[in-house]
Structures are given as C-alpha cells and as structure tokens.
Amino acid sequence: MTGHRTGTESSVARHLAHIVGMVWLAVAAIAGAQETVYVSDKLYVPIRSGAGGDYRILHKGIPSGTALTQLGINDDETWAEVETRGGIRGFMRAQFIQSSPPAAMRVSELEEQLQQVTQERDRLRSSLSNTQSEATEVTGTASELRDQLTAVEAELTEVKRVSAAALELDAQNRTLTTELETLRADAELLRLENVRLQERISNAQIIDGALAVLLGVAITVVVPRLVPRRRRNDGWS
C-alpha cells in the first residue's frame, strides 16, 4: 500500500513537473524570440513529450543536420522545446542542438559552393577563350579590311588620275573639234572660192573664144579689103 502510494505520488510529481515545465516553456516562448537551431553532429536524437528522459518519445530520432524551431528551454538548460518542419512539437536534450549548422552540413554546403564556383570558373575560362578567339578573328578581319581599304584607296587614286586624264582629253577633244569645225568652214570657203574662180575661168575662156571667133571673122572680112588686088593677066596684052 505504501509502495503504491509512493509510486502514485511520484507519478503525480512528474506530471506536475511536466505541467510546470510546459507552462514555463510556453511563457518563455511567448517572451523570447524564436530561432532556428540544428541537430548537432550525432546520429539520431529523439523528441520526447516532456523535459525529461522518462517522458514518452514522440519521434524516435531526428537525423543530424535537421533544422528545428526552438520554442524555449528549461531552467537548467538541459532540455529545449523544439518543433520540426513537419509539425512535431516536443522536448530534446539541449546538448544535441546548436545554433549553427553542423560541420558535416557546412562541409557539404562548402563542397557544393566550391563545385558551383569551379563550374563558374570553367564557364568564365571558356568564355574568355571564346572571347580571345573572337578577338583574334576580329584582328584578322581588321587586318583584311585595312588591306582592302589600302587597295580601294589605290584604285581611287588611279580613278582620279584617269579621270583627270579623261577630263584633259575631253578638253583637248573639244579644242580639236572646234579647230576641225573652223578648218571645215575654211575648206568650204575655199571650195566656194574655187567654184567662183572656175566659173570666172570658164567665162573668160568663153569670152576668149568669142573674141577669137570675132577676130577670125574680122581678119577674114577686113584683111582682103586691105590687100590690093592684082590685075588679071588674061593673055591679050
């Protein structure tokens, strides 16, 4: 009877302690700000219904590195009230939680960051290599363009020279054309003058012929009259 009473009193005491602890933790949670904590570098840490090892286990084991929300902690800071992302709320020994991620998790994050940095470095190297190749191509293209520009400038100089020569030839051609027209005009005047001279010569020849005919007629008519006639010898004298 005494043992049963002692056990009952012990159970009641634990229950009262649990209630007091819950009330205190609730007050502490309301009074203080919530923060995210992590399960330290242990394999599995159970979550219990109260701040003590005798309370019922709500979760058999939280893996190390799991993020939890800390709601409060008891007076001697041995048990902390936590809540999982899945909504399980209970108590966990404070020695197994810490405010920063565990080393293994940090190493994993650092390795992931290192991999990302390495990939970014490789990408930048590749981009730099491509940029250098493009720069080389651009340099070659610029050299070709300079050569083409030099050739075009030489062609332009030749065109200018030929154009100047063509302009000079055109001026000379115009001068020669003018002189030719002048010579043609002079030749036409000479031809007309020659025609007139020929007409004059022809007229003169006609006049000379007429004069010769008249002279012949005059000689034929006049000369016999001027010469004395001889007496005929009829044989009777």
For the chain, the domains span 2-100
Whole-number pLDDT of residue 3: 44
The architecture that CATH gives domain 2-100 is Roll (2.30)
Where residue 95 falls (left for φ over 0; alpha for ψ -120 to 50; beta otherwise) is alpha
CA 95 vs. chain centroid, Å, equals: 62
Under DSSP, the state recorded for 96 is G
pLDDT value at position 12? 47
Q: Are 20 and 13 in contact (CB under 8 A)?
A: no
**CB count in 10 Å sphere of residue 66:** 18
- Per-residue pLDDT tens, the chain, 237 aa: give them: 444 444 444 554 555 555 545 555 554 544 445 677 665 554 588 899 998 889 999 988 888 778 899 999 998 999 999 999 999 999 999 988 888 877 766 677 778 888 889 999 999 988 888 888 888 888 888 888 989 999 988 988 888 888 888 788 888 888 888 888 898 888 888 888 888 888 888 888 888 888 888 888 877 877 676 666 655 555 554
Query: What's the pTM?
Result: 0.34
* Strands 35-39 and 79-83, bridge-based pairing: unpaired
